[in-house]
Amino acid sequence: IAGITQAPTSQILAAGRRMTLRCTQDMRHNAMYWYRQDLGLGLRLIHYSNTAGTTGKGEVPDGYSVSRANTDDFPLTLASAVPSQTSVYFCASSEGTSGGADTQYFGPGTRLTVL
């Protein structure tokens, strides 16, 4: 059982380039999330999806887009990368139960550097 996987593990990208971070889960979870983690700050939600076919904006959505064509996959795209998008990106999933302890499970992260 893989759980939740992300690719690539790390990437160095030139500013202005387009980049898609991949995320796949095999737990049949309804909800999926993209976070970025920067030194000294808490995890910040970029986009989320409560169920396949729907997406929503989180705290810091600008410069990022997502799609949720099926239950398993939730790619994050940077249309034109900028240096401020240098960060560690975590994908997470949860069962998506309304209320209660909807525990989130995290992928291993993608370390992205934009030069």
Partner 1 sequence: GQNIDQPTEMTATEGAIVQINCTYQTSGFNGLFWYQQHAGEAPTFLSYNVLDGLEEKGRFSSFLSRSKGYSYLLLKELQMKDSASYLCVFMDSNYQLIWGAGTKLIIKP
User: Which string of DSSP letters, residue by residue, matches 27-74?
Assistant: S--SEEEEEEE-TTS--EEEEEESSTT--EE-SS-TTEEE--SSSSB-
Closer by beta carbon to partner 1, 65 or else 104: 104
Strand partners, 66: 76
CB 82 within 8 A of CB 26: no
Distance of closest approach, residue 69 Cβ to partner 1, in angstroms: 24
Distance of closest approach, residue 106 Cβ to partner 1, in angstroms: 4
Our finding on whether 9 is near partner 1 (CB under 8 A) is no
**DSSP label of 111:** E
Distance of closest approach, residue 80 Cβ to partner 1, in angstroms: 27
Closer by beta carbon to partner 1, 35 or else 64: 35
Q: Which stretch binds partner 1 (CB under 8 A): 16-24, 38-46, 69-77, 79-87?
A: 38-46
User: Helix, strand or coil for residue 99?
Assistant: coil
Our finding on whether 2 is near partner 1 (CB under 8 A) is no
Distances (CA, A) of 102 to 22, 31, 105: 23, 10, 10
Number of residues that bind partner 1 (CB under 8 A): 21
Q: Which residues bind partner 1 (CB under 8 A)?
A: 35, 40-45, 58, 90, 98-109
